[in-house]
Amino acid sequence: MGFFRRTAARDLLKLYVASDLHGSTACFAKMLKAREWYGADATLIAGDLTGKMVVPVVADGDGYVSRFHGLEHRLTRGEVGAHEREINAAGLYAYRTTPEEVEELEREPARVDQIFHRLVLERVERWMEMGDATLTESGHRCYLVPGNDDYPEIDALLRQGESMRFVDGVVDHIDDEHEIVGLGVSNVTPWNAPRDIPEPQIAERLDALAQQVEHPERAVFMIHVPPKDSSIDLAAELDDELRPKGIGGRMVGVGSTAVREVLERVQPLLSVHGHIHESPGIARVGRTTCVNPGSEYSQGILRGALVNLTSDKVAGHLFVSG
């Protein structure tokens, strides 16, 4: 059937869960190794796969110059490759260019968007190829959805995977007992990201998916945005200029009301989320265990969670990072 099938001797399904890689080549490489490190049967990635910014690496005499992490870096030709790998590891997109092209791009900002989109697509395509090449021989499966920051153009590339299984808007199987439901969207954020949608649309999509699940009591839901007011959706309250309010910032629940309502009604075994990097943890919505592994992608740190499932319960969990 194309999915991992446990034997009678294997009474636990061990999942490795991560989210919000945001283009970090370091985090992606670690994710591919997680199955070996932790002995996971399957990997779940809950969205926001792509990065957010291009970093120009500009020719300058016999070397190059860039601005990265707020600092100017002057590089010899022998140093530039390692510097670009450092930029990419942090989830950004190194772009080697010239002073003349930089001037042209400043006059034509639409071209910057074109370059950014091209670099995003190239990295996603490379990741899918790497994932299939690494995982296929082992029989391991990585189930993934996009996130609200991911452009829809990447979906065609994500659908080409074999061991890298794109489950946005579908019901698939992890093993012969556990179905997985995927949805890679968020309720509307202040940044109007590409996959921000209104709550009624989230409810409609989740309702349609839930109706396809044969055994909801054993199902795993993977939804990028966490449920509202669940402790794994806490983010700093922002003012009109998108700055944290007050000294230290007050934390408020910014998750989805539609996600909470569907979880309360359907009560799947496990619900996996991301989106809110600073709120890793475990929450309960009725009998459903909800997990947000958090994210530190910009430091090249992969945060994850190991979740053990029996046929009808969550047998244990452990947060890990590296």
List pLDDT tens digits, range 209-223: 999 999 999 999 999
Report the alpha-carbon distance of residue 308 to residue 295 in Å, rounded.
21
Strand, coil or helix: what is 32? Answer: helix
DSSP, res 226: P
Q: In what order do the strands lie in the sheet with 270-272?
A: 171-173, 179-183, 220-223, 270-272, 288-292, 281-285
Report the alpha-carbon distance of residue 106 to residue 115 in Å, rounded.
13
Please give the pLDDT value at position 242: 86
List pLDDT tens digits, range 151-167: 999 999 999 999 999 99
Domain 13-51+122-321 has CATH 3.60.21.10: yes
* CB contact set of 284 (below 8 Å; sequence gap of 6+): 290
DSSP, res 298: G
Please state, for a pLDDT cut of 70, what percent of the chain lies above it.
96
Q: Is the pLDDT of residue 8 over 80?
A: no
- For 289-310, what is the mean pLDDT? 98
Please give the pLDDT value at position 9: 37
DSSP, res 256: B
Structural domain boundaries in the chain: 13-51+122-321, 54-116
List pLDDT tens digits, range 60-72: 999 999 999 999 9
Task: Look up the pTM and report it.
Answer: 0.94
Amino acid type, 237: E
HSE at residue 56, side-chain half, CA atoms within 13 A, is: 15
Contact 186, 147 (CB under 8 A): yes
**The length of the chain, given as a count of residues:** 322
Task: Retrieve residue 129's tokens.
Answer: 């190829």
> Helix 109-135 and helix 25-38: axis angle, to 10°?
20
- For 29-46, what is the mean pLDDT? 96
Instruction: Give the CATH number of domain 54-116; options: 3.30.2420, 2.30.29, 1.10.10, 3.30.420.
Output: 3.30.420
- Strands 281-285 and 93-97 come out as unpaired
> Helix 109-135 and helix 99-107: axis angle, to 10°?
110
Residue among 48, 58, 317, 313 at smallest CA distance from 177: 313
Q: Is the pLDDT of residue 264 over 90?
A: yes
Q: Is the pLDDT of residue 312 over 60?
A: yes
HSE at residue 125, side-chain half, CA atoms within 13 A, is: 8
Mean pLDDT of the residues in the chain: 95
Contact 201, 209 (CB under 8 A): no
- For 36-51, what is the mean pLDDT? 97
Please give the pLDDT value at position 10: 54
Q: Report which secondary-structure segment, H or E, holds 210.
A: helix 199-210
Please give the pLDDT value at position 191: 94
